[in-house]
Amino acid sequence: MPLLAGQIMTAGQAGRLQPRTYEAVGTSNLALTTTEADVPGASITLDAETAGAVYVAHAVFSFDATGTTTAFASGALDLDGAGVTGNARWTGDLASDFGSPAMLWRGTLTAGTHTFKLRGSISSGTGIQVLGAFTKLIVTVHEVV
């Protein structure tokens, strides 16, 4: 809701004017399989004060080929246990290959507690891992005043 001319702003409204930023970094590596799995440590739980709060989630995945492969890796975002549309993809075919694709998601939240998690999978077989220490999730929440 917009602030109107002459309106007296409450402390709660003032507190919601500035966006809040949260950050998580992976804590260990994840060997990818065809079943999507959580990247260890790359999770954020936060509280949205108002319905309609807007979130912007940025993720950088660090994928590393551990052997010869023709598969591609996918990095995804889950919000409250459900997948968010869109993913970061990367492919490398030699054990010396690595890459850091990024992805951006935007959406709205209901009031309450929410959990964001980075997840990873591989299109077929094995041979790619997520390097946890170089994988990061940043979520910025813009509350409704």
Q: Model confidence over 57-84: pLDDT tens digits?
A: 999 999 999 988 889 999 999 999 999 9
pLDDT, residue 4, reads: 66
User: For residue 64, what are its two tokens?
Assistant: 């590393």
User: For residue 42, what are its two tokens?
Assistant: 């790359």
Question: Tens of pLDDT along 89-122?
Answer: 999 888 889 999 999 999 999 999 999 999 999 9
Q: Where are the domains of the chain?
A: 20-142
Give, in words, the CATH class of 20-142: mainly beta
pLDDT, residue 18, reads: 80
pLDDT above 80 (res 52):
yes
pLDDT, residue 127, reads: 92
